[in-house]
A and B are shown apart, each in its own frame.
Chain A
């Protein structure tokens, strides 16, 4: 579960910081608060850069290493910003036996990035996800909230074109 750190400079706003502080305040005295706080922080910032992790560690009275350890343990937490359009390909077993591996390959070719990466213009990020549970529609790819099921590699350019 190795995760690479981002090179994109952090540019959080004052307003985001206020929201994060309110979340920390609300959870401060709850047992096991770190996970819910990280989840809300990722909602606010879209990812969890070091600056945000420091604020959380200080706010909850934890060491930064503890926060970083939790962030890097769970697949859902991201150290990198995501694209305007988040493209996810399901690599659950049902999708895999129905060819989602080839869908992913075509996406990597078309977008020119590896899974886990983001295009230079910040428009598309690509991830291979765990089973989304829409196995009846396998193979499945998801762009933000739009789900595309029963697709073949040739559908990929057509789907991406909708977001161009």
Chain B
């Protein structure tokens, strides 16, 4: 192996790739070569580091300098200053790591200090396209131990004792699921991985697949041994091209090393793995719909029971776990169930990864022990709401979840607490909203999503969600009466009770939770015909404040409807009958003279 003096890690997650990290890697390699350093310095493309807000991210070891928002133009300076002369380029450092002229460790910054990385332990650390790097961080050791020293039931007992629950959202105990499938008579069985991450605003599964694909492959092989299966499928969203490419590479490498395929670890155990691509249907994240889709049909959910553990894919016993669930398995085997169950709350063990997005300073991926409060996540790890705005609500659980108001920010996050306050864990999207977000509009946004994604099998969901959407539209357009709000609530419960799968059963949650905590906002729309957040267009009117307007005419030039007129250097006026409420004028005004009311 070649000895190198320095490693440069460049993030190759989707966020950083989208902002140009591939170009940075190319120019870095070229620049190193031009300086004759390509034998001394190694460039490694890693998975996601989590701090997507500051991407593209580059870390230079052994110093551990964390460079943020790097551009290809910065590469020359980094090589000539840092690599050649040993002088850290301070202007590019993540400013949180610079304190009173001293540079502190990344793990001491607010974003990372409260995190605990189990599922994400290798993301941003190893090159996901190199199996040797995974093995060097104890990869496949758990599989070796399981196959050579344990009976299948012992594996299941460990997972049960750890208290691990499904990270896809519903929180079903993983060990129990495996037990049900193992109890079925021997024969054909399948192990599936749900990587159809459809919740808008959630991208933890994608980051694990992109940053540490072998962790999923190893865990699926362990699961296969535990339940007695020889074939597995990973069902991935087609919208995740980088994840799919890295998974393919990982499967190929694992086969070459004899860690997948026939006679693994010389124990006579066989397991093969295939990738199946989704095609953009949210309902396929539901377990029975996912199986119907792999079978090549419209992804409609099936009736349960029989449960998949008894009669799943192609009619045989099947287990399906989420990516993040699998990412915990090898660690539990290696460190023991007691270690895992010592983390978290009484009924929710271990950690949970959240995608922290929306109106928050440090957008990105965070992994926290269960029981951390929302306040800690948003104010400390997330750095709070930017631009001096006030926190209004956090949305978890995607279209199945709800909005948590500021008054409940000190709730410790776990499966049961979130359900108690009208939301749910979901796959882990955590979208922060500030005072400029209208809660009725957000409820409408999610309903629009479920109307589109309802598979159409159950009438209550297919037609009910559409009627619910129309009622919300009536409210946001100022045409509703107070009676409509109670009718809407009634319809919500009807849809919940009469739908077959979780999509329909949870579709009204965004409406119910916003009604529960932000009823006054609904009433303002209905009674006063006002949108307090200034979002719902039909209820807004634009006005120019005469004392602030300088008469520069910038607004009248940009107005697409010709609704603004006036004399130069005198206050302009908006003709409300012509105004389209597009907001172009507000964007253009330098003096803050235009307001929405």
Q: Among B15, B238, B239, B587, point to the contact of A153 (Cβ < 8 A).
A: B587
What residues of B have a CB within 8 angstroms of the CB of A98 in the complex?
358-359
Beta-carbon contacts under 8 Å, A76-132 to B: 76-77, 91-94, 96-98, 102, 105, 109, 129-132
B277 close to A92 (CB less than 8 A): no
- Chain A-chain B contacts (Cβ-Cβ < 8 Å), number: 142
What residues of B have a CB within 8 angstroms of the CB of A154 in the complex?
587
Alpha-carbon distance between A19 and B580 when the two chains are bound, in angstroms: 50
The 8 A CB mask of B286-300 against A (1 = contact, 0 = none) is 000000011111110
Alpha-carbon distance between A91 and B19 when the two chains are bound, in angstroms: 19
| Interface segment, one of B105-113, B194-202, B479-487, B570-578 | B194-202
A135 close to B277 (CB less than 8 A): no
Residue A1 lies at the interface, judged by CB distance under 8 Å to chain B? yes
Residue B319 lies at the interface, judged by CB distance under 8 Å to chain A? no
Given contacts A73-B299, A98-B358, contact A36 B276 (CB under 8 A): yes
What residues of B have a CB within 8 angstroms of the CB of A1 in the complex?
452-453, 456
Residue B14 lies at the interface, judged by CB distance under 8 Å to chain A? yes
Given contacts A75-B280, A97-B358, contact A136 B364 (CB under 8 A): yes
Q: Can you show 15 pairs from A to B with CB atoms below 8 A apart?
A: A35-B276, A75-B280, A93-B200, A93-B395, A93-B431, A94-B200, A94-B357, A97-B431, A98-B358, A129-B239, A133-B206, A137-B15, A137-B19, A137-B52, A138-B363
Q: Among A32, A36, A93, point to the contact of B398 (Cβ < 8 A).
A: A93
Alpha-carbon distance between A32 and B14 when the two chains are bound, in angstroms: 30
Alpha-carbon distance between A140 and B19 when the two chains are bound, in angstroms: 11
Residue A159 lies at the interface, judged by CB distance under 8 Å to chain B? no
Question: Considering only CB atoms, which chain B residue lies closest to A66 in the complex?
Answer: B297
Question: Considering only CB atoms, which chain A residue lies closest to B53 in the complex?
Answer: A136
Q: Among A35, A96, A130, A149, point to the contact of B296 (Cβ < 8 A).
A: A35
Question: Considering only CB atoms, which chain B residue lies closest to A90 in the complex?
Answer: B200
What residues of B have a CB within 8 angstroms of the CB of A136 in the complex?
15, 52-53, 55, 357, 363-364
Chain A interface residue count, CB cutoff 8 Å, equals 43
Enumerate chain A interface residues (CB-CB to B < 8 A).
1, 31-36, 38-39, 66, 69-70, 73-77, 91-94, 96-98, 102, 105, 109, 129-138, 140, 147, 149, 152-154
The list of the 5 closest CB pairs from A to B, nearest first, reads A136-B52, A75-B280, A74-B279, A92-B200, A133-B203
A75 close to B296 (CB less than 8 A): no
Q: Among A73, A91, A132, point to the contact of B239 (Cβ < 8 A).
A: A132
Q: A39-B238, A131-B200 are in contact. List 10 more A-B contacts (CB 8 A).
A: A32-B295, A34-B296, A35-B294, A38-B279, A69-B298, A70-B296, A76-B279, A76-B280, A96-B200, A135-B203
Alpha-carbon distance between A142 and B479 when the two chains are bound, in angstroms: 36
What residues of B have a CB within 8 angstroms of the CB of A32 in the complex?
276, 294-296
Beta-carbon contacts under 8 Å, B394-448 to A: 395, 398, 429, 431, 433, 437, 442, 445-446
Residue B240 lies at the interface, judged by CB distance under 8 Å to chain A? yes
B168 shortest CB reach to chain A, Å = 16
Alpha-carbon distance between A5 and B372 when the two chains are bound, in angstroms: 50
Question: Considering only CB atoms, which chain A residue lies closest to B583 in the complex?
Answer: A102
Alpha-carbon distance between A29 and B280 when the two chains are bound, in angstroms: 25
Given contacts A130-B239, A135-B201, A153-B584, contact A147 B19 (CB under 8 A): yes
A134 close to B14 (CB less than 8 A): yes
B363 close to A135 (CB less than 8 A): yes
Alpha-carbon distance between A140 and B55 when the two chains are bound, in angstroms: 14
What residues of B have a CB within 8 angstroms of the CB of A73 in the complex?
281, 298-299, 455
